[in-house]
Structure 1
C-alpha cells in the first residue's frame, strides 16, 4: 500500500470527526448572524453588519471547502465574485443579491444535522471493527457476568477474544467502505453548495473566453504592427534604394549620350515598375495597419484620412484617451470604408465624422454623409467591418434609407 492509500482512511475519519466539531459552531454562527442581520436590516447598520457577517461566513465556508477537498481529492473552487460599491452599505447590499452568500449559509445550517448523522455513523463503523481487532488487548479488563451463554466464551476466554479479533479483521473492509461512502456523500453535498453553481460556472467560462479573446486580439494587433514595420523598414526601404540606384544609372546613361540605347529604355521601364510596386506596397501597408496610427494616434490619422478623401469631411473629435491598437485600427477602417462608400456610391459631397468617448467608457463613432442613401448593410465591405468590430465586442449599425442620409454608427470598447 502506497503512502496516499494509507492516508485515505485517516483523512476520511478525520473529515467525519471534525464535522462533529465544526457543525455545532457553524450552526450557532449562522443563527446568530442571521438573527443580527435580520434585526438590523431595518436600520442604517444593516448592510455593514451583513458585510462583516458574510466575511466570517466565507471564512468558515473556505474551511469547509478545504475539508471537503481532503475527501474528494480535488480543490473546491470558491464561487465568489467581486462586490460592487464604494462604501460598506453598497457592498453589503450587493452581497445580499449574490447567490453564493445564501448557498454558504445553507451549508452551514445543514452541516450540523448532516455532520452529526454521517459523523456518528462513520465513527461507530470505524470503532466497532477496530475494537474487535484489539479485543485481546483490552477485553479482559471489562468482564461482564451477564452476557448470554452463546457469546460468553468470546469475551471471557483467550481463544474467544482472538476469534473476535478475526471477526474485526473481516468486518474492517465493510466498515471502511461505509465510512468512505458517508464521507463522500457529505463532501459531495458540501461541494454542490459551496462550489460555483451552473450560472457562476457559465460566467467564469465566459470570462475565461473573454480573456483568451483579448489575448488573441492583442497578439494579432501586435503581429500586424510587426508586419507593417517589417514591410515599411525592410521591403519598402529596399525598393526605394533600388529605385535610387536605377535613377542614378539612368542619369549616367543620359550623361553618356545613350538616350536611344535599349538599355536606357529598360532602366526607365524598371524604374516605373519599381514605382508601381512601391505604391502597391504602401497601399498594402496601410491596409494591414496604418503607420500613422502608431506615429500620431487615431484622431490625427482620421484627420489625415479626411484630407485625402475626394469629398469634404469634417472630423469632430475631442480627447479620446489611450485606446488599444486593435480598437484604433478598427475605428480607422470603419471611417475609411464609410468615406470610400460615400464617395463611390452615395453621390455625397459632404461627410461628418464624430468621435465621442467618456473617460473609461466605450468609443462611439458616427459617420454621416449627405448622399442619396440606399447602401446595403449586408454588403461585403460592411459585413467585413461588422465582423471586425464584433470581434472586439463592439457593434456596427448602418442606416441608409432611400434618399439618405447614410449613417454608420460603431461602438467599440475602450479596452479589449
Structure 2
C-alpha cells in the first residue's frame, strides 16, 4: 500500500508538473532567443539554465517517491572565468539540454500517465465504496449495466466485491505507470556517458599524476643513494689509494705496485666522473637543493656557448614539472652547441596561467628535426605531464624550442 500510494502521488504530481515544465521551457527558449542578439544573451542563457536545473532537481527528488532515492545530478563543475567561457561550458554539457527535453516531454507523459493512474484508482475505489456514495448521484439515463448497478441497492452491493477484487490489479497498474514515467525521467536526468567519461578522464589524470610524482620521488631517492652511497665509497677508495701511492713512493719509486696503484686511481677517477654524470642525468641535485632557476643557471654556466638566462629566481614548481623543464633546457642547449653552429643562446623561464613555460632559443642555422630521437624523447616526457612541446627551426635559423607544462600535473 505504501509503494502504491507513493506511485499514485508521483503520477498525480506529474499532472501539475507537466504544464508548468512546458510553460517554463517555452518562456526560457523564447527569452534566450530574443535576448541572444544582445549583450544580455549570455546572462539570460545562464539564468535560464539555472532555473531549469532547479526544476530538474525537483524532478530528481520527486522520482525518489518511486525509486526510494533521488536521481544523481549529472552536472560538471562550472569553470571560473569570463562570461563567454561559462556560457560555453554550460552549453557544452549534454545534461543542460536533457533537462530541457525532460521538461518538454513531461507535459504529455505526466498528463497522460497521471490521468490514467488517477482514473484507474478512482474507478476501482469508487466501485469498492459504491454503497456509501452512489445513492447521492442518481442517473436514470445511464446505459446498461451501469444503471442497475448504480441506481439499485443490490447493484451497489454487488460492486463492492468486484471493486475489492480489482484493487490489486489497479495497484499493480498504478505502480507500473509510475515506473514507466520514472524510467524515462532517469534516462534523461541521470548522469550519462558524457559524465562517466569526464569522471574517468579525471580519475586517470589523478592516477597518472600520482605515478609521475612517485617516479620523480624514486629518481630522487636513487640520486641520493648514488650520491651518498656509491659515490662516497668511490671517493674514499680513491683517497686510500692516494695514501698508499704516497707511501710506496717513499719506499721504492720503481715499484710495480706503485704503477698499479696509479692505474687504479685513474680508473676510480673515471668511474667517479661517470657516476656523477649518471647522477646528473637521473636528477640533478641542484634542482632539489636550489630550484629550477639555479639549475638552469648551472646549465648555462657549463655550456660552451654564451647563454642568457631570464626568469624569476624565486619561482618554484612541482618536482616532476621542474625535472621535465630542466631536461628540456639541457637538451636544447646541447643541441645548440653540437649541431646548430650557434653563437649565443637565450634560456627563458616564465610562469603562465596554466603553469610554466621554458624557452630555448639559439641563433644557429636551424633545420632541427622535431622527430629526432632527442626531441622525440623530450616530447614524450613533456606529454606525460599533459604538456606541449613545440619546435620552430626553419632552415637558416633561428631555432626556438618551447615547452609548456601545466602545474596541475
Is 2:75 aligned against 1:79?
Answer: yes
How do 1:293-372 and structure 2 match up within 5 A?
293-309=287-303, 311-319=304-312, 321-346=315-340, 348=341, 350-355=343-348, 357=350, 359-361=352-354, 363-371=356-364
Aligned-partner Cα distance in 2 for 1:83–1:414 = 17
Deviations 1:123-170 (A, max 9, x none): 4455666777xx3xx444245697739995995557x7446534544x
Is 2:52 aligned against 1:61?
Answer: no
Aligned pair in 2 of structure 1 residues 405, 45: CA closer, same or farther (>3 Å)? closer
How do 1:79-118 and structure 2 match up within 5 A?
79-82=75-78, 84-85=80-81, 97-98=91-92, 100-118=95-113
Aligned-partner Cα distance in 1 for 2:364–2:39 = 60
Is 2:215 aligned against 1:215?
Answer: no
Deviations 1:47-100 (A, max 9, x none): 5565445433322211222333665678433234415545xx768855884554
* Gaps in structure 1 of 5+ consecutive residues: 1-5
Is 2:376 aligned against 1:388?
Answer: no
Aligned pair in 2 of structure 1 residues 79, 263: CA closer, same or farther (>3 Å)? same
The answer on whether the counterparts of 1:84 and 1:90 sit within 8 Å (CA) in structure 2 is no
SS at structure 1 position matched to 2:386: coil
The answer on whether the counterparts of 2:351 and 2:357 sit within 8 Å (CA) in structure 1 is no
How do 1:159-238 and structure 2 match up within 5 A?
161-162=160-161, 164-169=163-168, 171=169, 176=172, 178-195=173-190, 202-238=197-233
Aligned-partner Cα distance in 2 for 1:128–1:149 = 13
Is 2:150 aligned against 1:141?
Answer: no
Match of 1:407 in 2: 399
Is 2:284 aligned against 1:287?
Answer: no
Deviations 1:331-360 (A, max 9, x none): 2212222333343444x2524133253542
Aligned pair in 2 of structure 1 residues 161, 179: CA closer, same or farther (>3 Å)? closer
SS at structure 2 position matched to 1:393: coil
Deviations 1:104-126 (A, max 9, x none): 33432332332121222234455
Aligned pair in 2 of structure 1 residues 10, 238: CA closer, same or farther (>3 Å)? farther
Deviations 1:354-377 (A, max 9, x none): 325354245444434455555443
Deviations 1:185-237 (A, max 9, x none): 42343344434565565555444443443333333323323332333334434
* Larger CA deviation: 351-360 vs 54-63: 351-360
The answer on whether the counterparts of 1:79 and 1:197 sit within 8 Å (CA) in structure 2 is no
* Larger CA deviation: 23-32 vs 273-282: 23-32
Name the TM-score, length of structure 2 as normaliser. Answer: 0.75
Name the TM-score, length of structure 1 as normaliser. Answer: 0.74
The answer on whether the counterparts of 1:23 and 1:112 sit within 8 Å (CA) in structure 2 is yes
Aligned-partner Cα distance in 2 for 1:407–1:319 = 23
Question: 1:327 deviation in Å?
Answer: 2.4
Match of 1:278 in 2: 272
* Gaps in structure 2 of 5+ consecutive residues: none
Match of 1:257 in 2: 251
Deviations 1:264-291 (A, max 9, x none): 6666555544444433332222111211
The answer on whether the counterparts of 1:143 and 1:156 sit within 8 Å (CA) in structure 2 is yes
Aligned pair in 2 of structure 1 residues 275, 84: CA closer, same or farther (>3 Å)? same
Match of 1:3 in 2: none
Aligned pair in 2 of structure 1 residues 248, 13: CA closer, same or farther (>3 Å)? farther
Aligned-partner Cα distance in 1 for 2:157–2:28 = 57
The answer on whether the counterparts of 1:366 and 1:410 sit within 8 Å (CA) in structure 2 is yes
The answer on whether the counterparts of 1:353 and 1:365 sit within 8 Å (CA) in structure 2 is no
The answer on whether the counterparts of 1:57 and 1:105 sit within 8 Å (CA) in structure 2 is yes
Question: 1:305 deviation in Å?
Answer: 1.2
SS at structure 2 position matched to 1:350: coil
Aligned pair in 2 of structure 1 residues 307, 41: CA closer, same or farther (>3 Å)? closer
